[in-house]
A and B are shown apart, each in its own frame.
Chain A
Amino acid sequence: MPAIVINGKSYEVSAEPETPLLWVLRGELKLTGTKYGCGIAACGACTVHLDGQPIRSCVTPLSAVGSKAVTTIEGVSGAEADALNTAWNDGDVVQCGYCQTGQLMSACALLRTTPSPTDQDIDEAMSGNICRCGTYPRIRAAIHAAAAARTPTV
């Protein structure tokens, strides 16, 4: 049985190697914060981090995970994640909320590489994540707010 590392913890999983990581997380491990939206990497609802990089878990087979560290919404932490969480709450971003965990995982990866993103940086990093409710203006504003909260004021 392969062992995978999720949110810093090692799990032995029984799924076949070709099983998408999404269904290992949602099914076997009951980590349901990562969502199924399309199954073809077109909506971003299933975004998790693999060694810190945002990936679409619905098309990432278990065999491609290997010993790389998987981080899901249940385990994401650190200054960027905290700032985003606060900004998402304060900005009342959520409508139905289904896409938002994937949005946050993409946004967190963005802020870790680009602490003060421009609108264009946000367009590029976030346009793989669909929000069917159209909370996009608030997502953009929350990312800017989180970045500002992380940037030391002079």
Chain B
Amino acid sequence: MSRFPTLDRREFLRVSALAGGGLLLGAWLDFGTNGMLEAAEAPLTDGEFSPNAFIRIAPSGSITIMAKNPEIGQGIKTMLPMLIAEELDVDWSAITIEQAMSEPAKYGSQVAGGSTATPTNWEPLRKAGAAGRQMLVAAAAQAWNVPAAECTTASGVVTHKASNRQMTYGALATAAAAMPAPDMATVTLKDPKNFRIIGKPMTGVDNHKVVTGQPLFGIDVVVPNMVYGTFEKCPVFAGKAVSANLDEIKALPGVKNAFIVDGGTVLNGLLSGVAILADTWWAAKSARTKLKVTWEEGATAQQSSAAFKAKAIELFTQAPARALRADGDVNGAFAAATKTVEATYEYPFLAHATLEPQNCTASFTNDAIEIWAPTQNPQSGRVLVSKTLGIAEKDVAIHITRSGGGFGRRLNNDYMVEAAMIAKLAGVPVKLLWTREDDIRHDFYRPAGFHKLKGAVDASGKLTAWQNHFVTFSNNGTDFVPSAGMDGTEFPSLAVANRNVSVSTMPLGVPTGYLRAPGSNALAFVNESFIDELAHAARKDPLQFRLELLAQLPTETPRGAMVPSRMKGVLEQVAQKSGWGTRKLPKGSGMGIAAYFSHRGYFAEVVEVNVSRAGALTVKKVWAVGDVGSQIINPSGAMNQVEGSVIDGIGEALAQEITIEAGRAKQSNFNDFPLIRLKQVPVIDVSFRITEYPPTGMGEPALPPVVPALCNAIFAATGKRIRSLPLTKHNLSWA
């Protein structure tokens, strides 16, 4: 049975879906269902108008817009409804915004990941708003017996100027609900110069609730009769619980139940562990300090960061396992070079450390489950819960709560399937909350990586050969573990005639995943730092050297690839903003530059640092220039994302590292995995370069270039080249 019945509004729904869905399906892959224009299934009261799943207008005049995607701090609950409200032509202050549940059949993709929400929703959600407006206009035109083309709208009112008549959207709601849904091909969108909401800095729609401490987050969810849970997994990833002192634990104060949960070996599925349930979370956690578990640790216990590094160094002495991209004559270019540069770069595993630890509340009854989760990916969570619990996907209802940070961590739903299984086994609603130590020790880490690079420059200072032997992780020698891959076309490969980008791999039992700007957050450090090394070897200004490389790229770029002119644009703008090359700085101070294309966005950044003689680093200022297309939808949110990304990248570079020892994470809390703090934060100057391309997302692309720009600035200040992270490993003192 399902406790979540569909309501009896199918006939109307079918009409609008048929009329509208097809075009969207064809034009927008992310709306891979024709449910886009299905009417809302929330119970409509008499006379309500719901032209599609995103809009509800009551006769009273109240207007509700659904926010479809998970809010993880990226501002999407504000930004996506702005698109709808703009084209519906209502006042921003007049609408109520509601968080949608996970219902992809109605809302399309509801994933917060890959900075995809802006490019995939920019047109469809504006069209959803415009379709609603068109139906309201049609209702007014019919009521007044005038041509729709003579009617105008503004602020939720339809006006027929010639006859001096007006009706509010509320007054038209009942009549509009009887109008046929428009053919989406005929729905017209506003000229951007007439935008009244898009492009205006809007403050977050939940800011007031946040600052007054109202319950919004997964951790705040309370359901009747719930018990609180803690779950201890094997410190070695995917190790199995064989036995535990369960009777002793069950006798402790407040404890309601304790049991072993069987798990598998798929790292992002349900893993084995011991659940303790109590009437308060503190009682459960206190009982856990008495828990004694016999673990079967498994083969991963043999793995360590030190061994990975040793193996990488060994692999560097051998021929790479396979080429990712090989063209021209690399060896010939090295032989003919005026100068060659060789260097080895490495970076560590990193945790996400969302400030809200992983948690989930689940209530299981009669083969159906209701879940409240801070998740970035409710769709994959539903599939995982359905398969693991052996229930139908339609019987998994997921409420998307606000997430206290995401950064890619909550694209995996391990905590969700744990809560679901524990609730099923316990037979009572369960709120599972991880400790911070659970969170740091059971993450899906940004994978560590190792690169051996070699480049050649000729007498004119031109880069003539580029070689990168990447040592990364794979368990079958072919498929990279999540987020551990690289593309052979990574800049500057295609700008160099003689190139050899290759890879060797090692097996890994440590879970890895997508950390903000995955792949890019590490590869930018490596490539943009080594480009800086080569620029110095070529005796060229690093900005000039980059511009020359960009000029060597083919001008015809495949769809989705970097457009050189856009990268050139942000580099030139950041140089101008920062006064690049015009300021003479004393030793100990320096500026570094880097640029990177990721998630469809272009960012160039300059970092200015000061390093004391004793080696104390101060990051003084960062200039960031981005090109994310023709329109910054919410300038306030966009600036916040850039500032946050820059700070995030600096924080990662300064001090963050997860060390694997004996198959487990050594670090466990903010004392040994330090996050950046206010007093370490530089002044940040953000600006955008507006281009004619469609708008793209803001959650990630500003992060990658800040890491190499910082390291290049340290080189400029001290002459010390940073080839491994974090910076705490380096003595930056100079004489």
Contact = CB atoms under 8 A, between A and B. Distances in A.
Given A89-B208, A94-B204, A136-B678, A32 B215 contact: yes
Interface string A23-63: 10011101111111111101101000000000000000000
Contact of A140 (B73, B640, B676, B678): B678
- Interface SS, A side: loop
A114 B356 CA distance: 30
A150 B72 CA distance: 33
Interface in B560-613: none
B74 A98 contact: no
A135 interface: yes
Contacts of B648: 133-134
B156 to A, nearest CB: 24
A97 interface: yes
B399 to A, nearest CB: 16
Interface stretch (B217-225, B525-533, B726-734): B217-225
A136 B677 CA distance: 8
**Which of B206, B355, B357, B403 has the most A CB atoms < 10 Å from its CB?**
B355
Nearest to A126: B678
Given A132-B353, A132-B355, A100 B211 contact: yes
A137 B215 contact: no
A85 B212 contact: yes
A95 B280 contact: no
B354 A95 contact: no
Nearest to B74: A95
A28 B280 contact: yes
Contact of B222 (A30, A89, A98): A30
B307 interface: no
Interface string B543-559: 00000000000000000
Nearest to B202: A92
A98 B282 contact: no
Contacts of B193: none
Nearest to A87: B211
Interface string A114-149: 000000001110111111111111111000000000
Nearest to A105: B213
Contacts of B436: 37-40
Given A85-B212, A133-B644, A94 B207 contact: yes
B282 A23 contact: yes
B678 A123 contact: yes
B282 A136 contact: no
A96 to B, nearest CB: 3
B643 interface: yes
A122 B679 CA distance: 8
A34 B201 CA distance: 29
A92 B220 contact: no
B64 interface: no
A126 B407 CA distance: 23
Interface string A59-101: 0000000000000111000000000010011101111111111
A58 B354 CA distance: 18
B538 interface: no
A34 B436 CA distance: 16
Interface in B187-230: 201, 203-204, 206-208, 210-217, 219-220, 222, 228
A5 interface: no
Nearest to B640: A95
Contacts of B406: 96
A16, A94, A138 pick with most chain B CB within 10 angstroms: A94
A139 B253 CA distance: 42
B681 interface: yes
Given A92-B204, A133-B405, A36 B219 contact: yes
Question: Which among B71, B210, B669, B675 has the highest number of chain A CB atoms within 10 Å?
Answer: B210
B678 A92 contact: no
Interface in B238-293: 253, 280-282
A90 to B, nearest CB: 7
Nearest to A104: B211
A23 to B, nearest CB: 4
A97 B355 CA distance: 10
Contacts of A15: 280, 282
B211 A94 contact: yes
Contacts of B670: 37-38, 40, 42-43, 130
A33 B679 contact: no
A140 B643 CA distance: 13
A33 B214 contact: yes
Given A19-B282, A32-B213, A136 B73 contact: no
A134 B681 contact: yes
A104 B211 CA distance: 8
B402 interface: yes
A27 B210 CA distance: 19
Contacts of B206: 94, 97
Given A28-B280, A134-B646, A140-B678, A97 B402 contact: yes
B355 A130 contact: yes
A33 B213 contact: yes
Given A98-B405, A129-B678, A135-B640, A23 B280 contact: yes
Contacts of B203: 89-90, 92
A32 B404 CA distance: 13
B214 A40 contact: no
Contacts of A85: 211-212
B170 interface: no
B213 A132 contact: no
A127 B203 CA distance: 25
B212 A73 contact: yes
B219 A32 contact: yes
A28 B357 CA distance: 20
B281 A27 contact: yes
Nearest to B279: A27
B404 A98 contact: yes
Given A39-B436, A136-B647, A97 B210 contact: yes
A88 B132 CA distance: 34
B675 A132 contact: yes
Nearest to B357: A36
Contacts of A127: 677-679
Residue among B207, B215, B648, B651 with max Cβ neighbours from chain A (10 Å): B207
A132 B228 contact: no
A97 B678 contact: no
A137 B669 CA distance: 24
22 contacts: A15-B280, A20-B282, A27-B228, A27-B280, A33-B215, A37-B357, A39-B669, A88-B211, A89-B208, A92-B201, A94-B210, A95-B644, A98-B355, A98-B356, A98-B404, A100-B210, A132-B353, A132-B354, A134-B647, A136-B677, A139-B678, A140-B678
Interface of B: 71-75, 201, 203-204, 206-208, 210-217, 219-220, 222, 228, 253, 280-282, 353-357, 402-407, 433, 435-436, 636-637, 640-641, 643-648, 651, 669-671, 675-679, 681, 683-684
Q: Ordered nearest first, which 3 A-B pairs have the shortest CB separation?
A: A33-B213, A96-B73, A98-B404
Interface of A: 15-16, 19-20, 23, 26-28, 30-40, 42-43, 45, 72-74, 85, 88-90, 92-101, 104, 122-124, 126-140
